[in-house]
Amino acid sequence: MRRPDRSSAVLLIVVLIMTLSGCQFANNQPYLYFKNNVGDILMTDLELDDLKVISLLDGGRRGFYIVPKDKNKIEEITTKTLNESIEIYYKNDLIHSSKVKNIIKGINLVFNEMDEETLKRVEQILQENK
């Protein structure tokens, strides 16, 4: 039986590394985009420490809660979009649009004007992209 030569083994290792790197790279692609009303990307899910649908304290309503890694990001994007909209996209599909009425200086943001159907869709998207 013939033994594989060294160049074949090296080639196999290189192909394996490239394949694994490609899989890892694919997992690092954003799936949620937060854009202004002209389509400029303000933030993606990759810039968030936390994102989930939560129950609000006011009688059973729910909202979409996000916490950016950059603690100044909420103030930055609400300043840029004051009196305009932040639009949330799943890949290229518009999920929700909220008008920014105030500059928010907190470290988190809750989109609390989503209907229950939209929130269920967000939960499904988050589950599928864990």
| pLDDT single digits (tens) 73-82 | 999 999 999 9
pLDDT at position 116 is: 95
Residue 13 belongs to some domain of the structure: no
Q: Is 52 helix (H, G, I), strand (E, B) or coil?
A: strand
Residues with Cβ < 8 Å from 103, sequence gap 6 or more? 75, 78, 79, 82
- Indicate which CATH number applies to the domain containing 55: 3.30.1360.200
Cα-based angle 118, 82, 73 (whole degrees, multiple of 5): 75
Residue 124 belongs to some domain of the structure: yes
Q: What is the residue range of 36's domain?
A: 30-128
pLDDT at position 106 is: 92
Residue 39 belongs to some domain of the structure: yes
Residue 7 belongs to some domain of the structure: no
pLDDT at position 13 is: 54
Low-confidence ranges of the chain (pLDDT < 70): 1-27
Residue 3 belongs to some domain of the structure: no
Number of domains in the chain: 1
Asked if 105 contacts 74 with a C-beta cutoff of 8 angstroms, the reply is yes
pLDDT at position 57 is: 87
Q: Give me the sheet containing 109-111, strands edge to edge.
A: 48-55, 62-68, 109-111
